[in-house]
Structure 1
Amino acid sequence: MSERSLRGTQLGSRSLESDAGVEPAPRQVVEYVCEDGHTFSVPFSVEADVPQTWDSGKHGIGVLKGSKNPDEEPEKPARTHWDMLLERRSLEELQVLLDERLEVLRSSRPSA
């Protein structure tokens, strides 16, 4: 066996690469405040969208420091399939399509 072979290494034990020349991604530290006044910091990437709330793990949900309460933000109503269908077709067009499909179904049904 060669003297340069790697013997006795374990899965996940150590990397054989060095950290020389490696720079971590730029980060920003964001502060959150819980209802009880507890303040904690969370590091995020500079490119990340910072959420309005974050769970501290001990004191509950914290709100972004200096922001308004997230419950005050108006929510958009959920669009249903019917709403999206009405954006593309009028009621008259839908009635024509329904009549055509019913005719196809009726003609494929065996007569009794």
Structure 2
Amino acid sequence: MVSGNAIRGTRVGGRPTGMPEHGEPMPRQYVDYWCVNGHHTRPSFSLRADVPETWECRSCGLPAGTDRESPPEPPTQRPFKTHLAYVMERRSEADGEALLAEALANLRARRGA
């Protein structure tokens, strides 16, 4: 059942929505960015702000630049590596065999075998 409250969603003492609460807004500038997929993003910045060279595309997440003809290239993705792959980069197979032999000797010594 719907109540007859006409000011639903407002608070007591609330101001009208058109009244600025913190003074006048700063002057804005709009900058156009394009990604490699051709998506267009147009964020606004303060006139006093430093405008970044690249901006994240809102459609695909790739970096976007201000030059429509030559947008920035997407970053290269490194393939996923397992823990074993990182260990194999640091140690050779001979080093691994030596570490395994040492660990087995320590285990046997603790067990008294």
Q: TM-score range by the shorter chain?
A: 0.3 to 0.5
TM-score, with length taken from structure 2: 0.42
Say which structure is richer in strand: 1
TM-score, with length taken from structure 1: 0.42
